Structure 1
Amino acid sequence: MSWSPLLPTLLLSLVPATLALGALIGARQNPARAWHIARNTTLTALLLSAALLVFGLLDALPADSAWWQAAPLNLIMLLLANFIGFVVVRYSATYLQGEPREQRFVGLVQAVFAAVSVTVLSNHLLLFLAAWLGISLAMHQLLMFYPDRPRAALAAHKKFLFARAAELCALVAFALLYLHHGSAQISTIVQAYPGPTGALSASEQVAACLLALAALIKCAQLPLHGWLIQVVEAPTPVSAALHGGVINLGGYLLLLFSPLLLQSAPAQALVLVVAGISSVLAALIMMTRVSIKVRLAWSTSAQMGLMLVEIALGLVELALLHLLAHSCYKAYAFLSSGEAVQQNLQRRQAPSVRPSAAQWLGAGALSLAMVAGLGVLVRANTDSSAFDAFSPWVLMTLALTALLAERRSRQAPDSGVAFFALAALIVTAYFALKSLFATLLPAHDYTPSLWADLWISTLFVLLFVGYALQRYGLHRRRIQALNIYFYAGFYLDEWVTKTTLRLWPHKLPGRIRAKQLQPASQEVSS
């Protein structure tokens, strides 16, 4: 092998190798030294990832090799993962200072992001699956950072079982694709689906459905969502790493195999139904929660569902944009959750004024006019199929309607011009960013079916109605009764937990009572 094709492989291997080496060396050092090494390794991995993305965009790297891929999708995900890893390590060095198990955390968090780097760069089915398994096993240890907490142990147990089920689905799907194409290289398999080329074989249909099922499980869609809500018992940096850099890998799996998914009607229907309903229910359930971290966890389930829906509709560029924005926002939200408490108190002290029917109608008409104007502008400047689906336009119209109708509060006076400018900025940013990300991904000519678009549009309308009723209709007795079920999450997790423990029992740590932590002399004196 000549040096020129070997160099890109070595460059791509440097990122996970740097993180893995940092984890191994740090395990033999004292905590202060281990944190110092971790900060350096994650910074090095971040800089290498940024350099690789620049080289990739300049076509200085081959698109794929036997083991690695260097397409824009892979390099963008690599940069995102290592950015989240760098931020988490910098934050954790202060947050976990003095913890008895902090040295273990340093090694595990680097191991997690080393495995994530391998996963997003992998061009081999077995390497992808092995790295995916490594992420799950290392994250399991982080979720059990406080092993004496019953809720943390229960959540980790459920996640462990669900993750093995998702990996089994992926394993069978990969085996079917390997047998059908005679190759284990992901790029070779994906390139076999350049566009609508006729009916898929039975094995391809089954593989597409299994990949969709694996992504749904990994993204904590209802009813297998409970572990994601309960792992907030883990330290805040663990939640930031999970929600910002790990859970979105289910969406990455579907993005990677989207050419296959978009040719399988059963797989698309599975994602649109399960993820669509999950995103609406999780968003409405989130509104009933008081705990900041629990609200963020429900938000992640809802956002992951929406991202999967976007992929199933063929909006892969929008899904990639959504994935990047959500990861950065959610990592920031968890790491600043202490400030979020104060912000929430301020919002409660300055509640928004209830809009009248006329204000709702006016906001709706104005939002519809803005979105329609953008639609005319888009059609005048591009004929890309990325803007063919009308359900995103419906969602944008409803979101702008809520933004404009609820613009008044005791803290912020009615400033219609400012909010109109903000709405116009959102509409413009949507078009600009979606067009930008469309240039970074392989071109595909896909238009979602009318029924799929109508289904998702109906769910968006129901979400808007549910939001309005929860905000302004809780004085009605029937809405209060329905809100009880939303608060309970429709008891889905209770049913799943009982079923899981019945099929696979797990001994949970007992609850620690306050008196057990007191010396005997204190108990006698009291």
Structure 2
Amino acid sequence: MLPSLLTPSLVLAAPLLLLLVGLVPSTWANAQARLMARLCGAAAWLAFGSALLAAAAHPFDEARAWTLYNLELPGGLGTFTIGTYVNSVTVIMLLLVAFVGAIVTRYARNYMDGDPNRGRFHKWLALTLAAILTLIASGNLLMFALAWIATSLCLHQLLMFYRERPTAVLAAHKKFIASRIGDLSLLAAIALIGFTLNTLQFEEMHRILEAMEGPLPTALEIAALLIVLSAALKSAQFPLHGWLLQVMEAPTPVSALLHAGIVNAGAFLVIRMSPIMSHSELALGALAVVGLITLALASLVMLTQTSIKVSLAWSTTAQMGFMLLECGLGLYSLAMLHLVAHSLYKAHAFLASGSGVDAFRAPALPHASPGVGPVRLLLTLAGGGLITVAVGAVFGITAGHQPALLAAGTVVAIAVTQLLLQMAGVMSGDDFLRRGLGLSAIVSVCYFALHALFEAALQGSVLPVQDAAGPFQIWLTQAFVGVFLVLLIFQQVLKYAPAFLGDGIYMHLYNGLYIDVYITRLLQRLWPSPTLESVTPPAPFAPVPSTGA
């Protein structure tokens, strides 16, 4: 009995440690700010230790559920329970978020030193981390939804930390509206699932839907679409993506936690709800289309930005679009790998953004690269593509088996091509071919090996897509590859010859095609900001195009 309870107990201990620190009153927290910072940091590192032990104790072979409290709900909705649901997805996410949270709290201890309200900051930071970890460990859909809402409300307090800044208030208000719409969508989806399956337990839901044959009931189709809406809003997808780009007024540790952890909750929701999502071709298609549009827009706009933190924000939006696109294609293990890699990278990128500015300002000797011509572009694309296809074939990835995986491999080829093009500017001849193609082979092998590792780890924790090689999936993969090829060309043009597009197009891209301006005006009419009189959306302006030097 004791070994079976060890992992759930360790999983539950992680959020409880931070919750105890977060329940400290704000007045006491500010009065004992230094002690509060140490308590928050200690709780975060203990939570990481608990997550690490849980990962070591989990056998990665099956899910385990543990219930502390039961409450029967009326109308055949199911049961509300307080407990945990531990599978491979739970363990990986818990370990990732606890690690990022521990690093962010340690950074925040020095970053916030001297601020008169730093005690209150650490209180809400602890509560936010506790809510995220509770979300990950939840074994019940209603408990999951409550943690989902709590995460948003606690984050709102951190985004509003500097209440005297009008732009911070406006951005937080836009985030608040998007989150409430997402909350209502998730609650409606959970109600439909409960009334249809008569259960709200993740374990039972997975078991029922795994055995289900035939078309999905209409109520669950609607629930799947509502889950897509909630995930898209949580992950700042088109067209309500603007708030993520404007919450930079919050302290840097908040930006790191938001971009490395909380914004990934949309992809986590889809992966956790894979038993329903995999049965709904319509929901997966809608998710893939939204992700693809967001990815294309954000990737282009990001290249025109002059602020490092704003560029990182657009990068996060693009990465979230890519992640949800992977989920829409049914590549859940690939999306989980992407989530882990993006979280670690983006946490480092934000916490080291000041060093990035210093590196950019440092003098450097420019290389004498005349740019990349179309012939070299095609040759490097072909070289990277052949290497990636060959490595993918070794790992058993073919067009007939699963076209989405082959499409993902093609995207790897495009990414490898970017590396080859960067080398082409500083190398020539045999040295370029030897080192460039060798690097392509290493990147491809690492990519497919990690994918195989995550696919094995998530075996049994997610429900695969029913028709992985159907006509709709094939159409999506073709659009997927086509958009990435167009993005590659545009990125090269923006980098090496921005004047080719004209000042007008460059200016429009810099301002995000003004989508957020119209969304902000609409939201202000429907639900005005508390500081509407003193806040107006930032006016678009024309930047000086970068020369790529």
Letter in 2 for 1:489: G
Question: 1:37 Cα deviation (Å)?
Answer: 1.1
Shift of 1:507: 2.8
- What amino acid sits opposite 2:377 in the alignment? W
What is aligned with 1:436? Answer: 453
- Residue 222 of structure 1: how far off its partner (Å): 1.4
1:416 offset after TM fit, Å? 4.3
Q: 1:481 aligns with which of 495, 498, 504?
A: 504
Q: Which residue of 1 aligns with 2:39?
A: 37
> Distance in 1 between the 2:485 and 2:105 partners?
41
CA deviation after TM superposition for structure 1 residue 186, in Å: 1.6
Contact 1:26 1:106 in 2 (8 A): no
State the distance in 1 between where 2:143 and 2:355 align: 40
Give SS of 1:222's match. coil
Deviates more, 1:417-426 or 1:48-57: 417-426
How much has 1:177 moved relative to structure 2?
A: 0.3
**Counterpart amino acid of residue 303 in structure 1:** Q
Give 2:21's aligned amino acid: G
> After superposition, what is the alpha-carbon deviation per residue over 1:376-430, rounded to whole angstroms, capped at 9, x for unaligned?
21229x9996675322122112222222123144699975433333222110101
Q: Deviations over 1:282-313 (max 9, x none)?
A: 01100010100000000000000000000111
Q: Is 1:391–2:407 an aligned residue pair?
A: yes
Give the 3-state SS of the residue equivalent to 1:200 in structure 2: coil
182, 189, 199: which one aligns with 1:173: 189
Deviation at residue 19 of structure 1 after TM alignment: 0.7
Deviations along 1:292-336, one digit per CA (max 9) or x if unpaired, are 000000000000000000011111111000000101110110000
* Residue range with higher mean Cα deviation, 2-11 or 489-498: 2-11
Instruction: Tell me if the contact between 2:167 and 2:249 (Cα under 8 Å) persists in the aligned partners.
Output: yes
Report the Cα distance in structure 2 between the residues aligned to 1:379 and 1:296, rounded to whole angstroms: 35
Pick closer, same or farther for the CA change 1:395–1:103 going to 2, 3 Å.
Answer: same
2:442 maps to 1:418: no
Determine helix, strand or coil for the equivalent of 1:223: coil
Q: How far 1:462 moved relative to its partner?
A: 1.9
Kept in 2: contact 1:277–1:459 (CA 8 A): no
**CA-to-partner distance for each residue in 1:95-138, whole Å, 9 max, x for gaps?**
11000110001111111110111100101111101111111111
1:137 to 150, 153, 177: 153
Residue identity over aligned pairs, in percent, reads: 33
Q: Which range moves more in the overlay, 493-502 or 395-404?
A: 395-404
Q: 1:510 to 1:410 in 2, by over 3 A?
A: farther
Letter in 2 for 1:90: R
1:355 matched residue in structure 2 = 372
Distance change >3 Å, CA 343–CA 58, structure 1 → 2: same
Kindly indicate whether residue 21 of structure 2 is the aligned counterpart of residue 22 of structure 1. yes
The 3 A distance-change label for structure 1 pair 479 and 385 is farther
Aligned to 1:495: 518
Mean Cα displacement is larger for which, 180-189 or 360-369?
360-369
Query: Which residue pairs with 1:10 in the alignment?
Result: 9
Aligned to 1:522: none
Partner residue in 1 for 2:180: 164
Which stretch of the first structure deviates more once superposed, 249-258 or 501-510? 501-510
Question: Aligned equivalents of 1:241 and 1:450: distance in 2?
Answer: 36
The alignment partner of 1:233 has SS state of coil
Q: Work out the CA distance in 2 between the residues paired with 1:239 and 1:355.
A: 35
Change (3 A) 1:317 1:3: closer
State the partner residue of 1:64: 65
Structure 2 residue 483 is the aligned partner of structure 1 residue 465: no
Structure 1 residues 190 and 383, CA gap change in structure 2 (3 angstroms): farther
What are structure 2's unaligned runs of at least 5 residues? 68-82, 536-549
Native 8 Å contact 1:307 1:323 kept in 2: yes
Q: Specify the alignment match of 1:263 in structure 2.
A: 279
- The answer to whether 1:453 aligns with 2:477 is yes
Relative to 1, partners in 2 of residues 1:216 and 1:388: Cα closer, same or farther, differing over 3 Å?
A: closer
**With structure 1 as the length reference, what TM-score do the two structures score?**
0.91
2:307 to 278, 291, 308: 291
2 CA distance for matches of 1:344 and 1:408?
22
**Secondary structure, in 3 states, of the residue corresponding to 1:65?**
strand
- Structure 2 letter corresponding to 1:457: V
Counterpart-to-counterpart distance in 2, 1:148 and 1:308: 35
Residue type at the aligned position of 1:500: L
Could you tell me which amino acid in structure 2 is paired with residue 20 of structure 1?
Answer: L
The structural deviation recorded for 1:373 is 1.3
Match of 1:364 among 340, 358, 381: 381
1:87 is aligned to 2:103:
yes
Deviation track 1:177-228 (CA, whole Å, cap 9, x = no partner) reads 0011100102211333328832111101000000011000110011101110
Unmatched runs of 5 consecutive residues or more in structure 1: 513-526
Query: Do the aligned partners of 1:26 and 1:38 also contact (CA within 8 Å) in 2?
Result: no
Residue 87 and residue 510 in structure 1: after superposition, are their counterparts in 2 closer, same or farther (change >3 A)? farther
Aligned residues: 508
Secondary structure of 2:238 counterpart: coil
Deviation at 1:8, TM superposition (A): 4.8
In structure 2, what is the Cα distance between the partners aligned to 1:33 and 1:510?
Answer: 39
User: In the alignment, which of 234, 238, 251 is matched to residue 218 of structure 1?
Assistant: 234
In structure 2, how many angstroms separate the alpha carbons of the residues matched to 1:77 and 1:90? 20
* 2:323 paired residue number: 307
Are the counterparts in 2 of residues 150 and 510 from structure 1 also a CA contact under 8 Å?
A: no
* Deviates further, 489-498 or 388-397: 388-397
The match for 2:74 is: none
Give the C-alpha shift of residue 64 in structure 1.
1.8
Corresponding letter in the other structure for 1:376? A
Q: Secondary structure at the match of 1:314?
A: coil
Aligned residue identity for 1:505: P
The CA distance in 2 between the partners of 1:55 and 1:424, in whole Å, is 35
Superposition map of 1:180-259 within 5 A: 180-194=196-210, 197-259=213-275
Hey, what's the Cα distance between the residues in 1 that align with 2:212 and 2:379?
Answer: 43
Letter in 2 for 1:34: M
- Flag the 1:124–1:468 CA change in 2: closer, same or farther, 3 A: same
Q: Is the 8 A contact 2:319 2:342 kept in 1?
A: yes
Secondary structure of the structure 1 residue equivalent to 2:423:
coil
Instruction: State whether structure 2 residue 444 is matched by structure 1 residue 427.
Output: yes
| Counterpart Cα distance in 2 of 1:506 and 1:248 | 26
Q: TM-score, normalised by structure 2?
A: 0.87
